[in-house]
């Protein structure tokens, strides 16, 4: 019906807006963390970040809590995502921020689609076509270019001023 199509369209716009807002906040957060929180301990930053996120998501979780309790495996997966993925990921991310700066540290997120693709193949047995592999190659090449990892021609001056290819 027309009403459900309008609702789906509105929800689609909200989803797109949420993704754009999240991307902007991720970039702003990286710069803020580097400039204002650079002297803090990585563990303290990680615990603080995850605590704020948990508090922000608690009302949504309460509003959508299932009538029957989730199985033990679901709780184990939540713990793995919270500790294994998020906490470990944040610890490494804050370390990267300190070492290489926000612009280069954020560029590791370009690799998320390639990692998701590999996980789908390894864990779910998903098939991958040539177009998907070509897309992954473009992402990897673009990431290498943005990080300055692409091989330069002999004699070309790098950003640091040293001539590559010179003896």
With respect to residue 133, please indicate whether it lies within any of the assigned structural domains.
yes
* Confidence band for 2, pLDDT divided at 50, 70 and 90: low
Query: What local confidence, expressed as pLDDT, does residue 163 receive?
Result: 45
Better pLDDT: 122 or 153: 122
Instruction: State the total domains in the chain.
Output: 1
Q: Which region among 12-26, 112-126, 130-144, 145-159 has the lowest average model confidence (pLDDT)? A: 145-159
Give me the pLDDT at residue 162, please: 46
- Helices 88-100 and 2-36 meet at what angle, rounded to 10? 50
Across the chain, mean pLDDT equals 82
Report if residue 141 sits inside a domain.
Answer: yes
In a domain, 122, yes or no: yes
Domain that residue 119 falls in: 105-151
Q: Is residue 138 part of a domain?
A: yes
Instruction: Name 126's Cβ contacts closer than 8 Å, sequence gap at least 6.
Output: 120
Is 112 inside a domain boundary?
yes
**Position with higher pLDDT, 52 vs 150:** 52
Classify residue 23: in a domain, yes or no. no
The pTM (predicted TM-score) of the whole model is 0.59
Distance CA 108, CA 22 (A): 16
Whether the predicted pLDDT of 134 surpasses 90: yes
pLDDT tens column, 28-74? 877 787 777 777 888 888 888 888 888 988 898 888 888 899 999 99
Q: Residue 152 pLDDT more than 90? A: no
Return the percentage of the chain with pLDDT > 90, whole number: 19
Q: Rounded to whole angstroms, how far apart are CA atoms 163 and 83?
A: 44
Any domain includes 129: yes
């Amino acid at each position: 019906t027309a009403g459900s199509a309008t609702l789906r369209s509105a929800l689609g716009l909200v989803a797109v807006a949420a993704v754009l807002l999240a991307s902007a906040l991720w970039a702003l957060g990286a710069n803020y963390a580097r400039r204002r929180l650079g002297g803090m301990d990585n563990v303290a930053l990680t615990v603080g970040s995850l605590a704020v996120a948990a508090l922000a998501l608690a009302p949504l979780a309460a509003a959508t809590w299932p009538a029957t309790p989730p199985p033990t495996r679901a709780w184990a997966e939540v713990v793995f995502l919270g500790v294994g993925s998020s906490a470990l990921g944040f610890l490494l991310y804050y370390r990267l921020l300190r070492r290489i700066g926000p612009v280069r540290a954020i560029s590791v997120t370009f690799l998320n689609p390639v990692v998701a693709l590999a996980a789908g193949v390894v864990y779910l047995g998903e098939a991958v076509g040539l177009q998907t592999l070509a897309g992954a190659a473009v992402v990897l090449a673009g990431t290498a270019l943005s990080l300055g990892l692409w091989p330069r021609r002999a004699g070309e001056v790098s950003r640091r001023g040293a001539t590559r290819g010179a003896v």
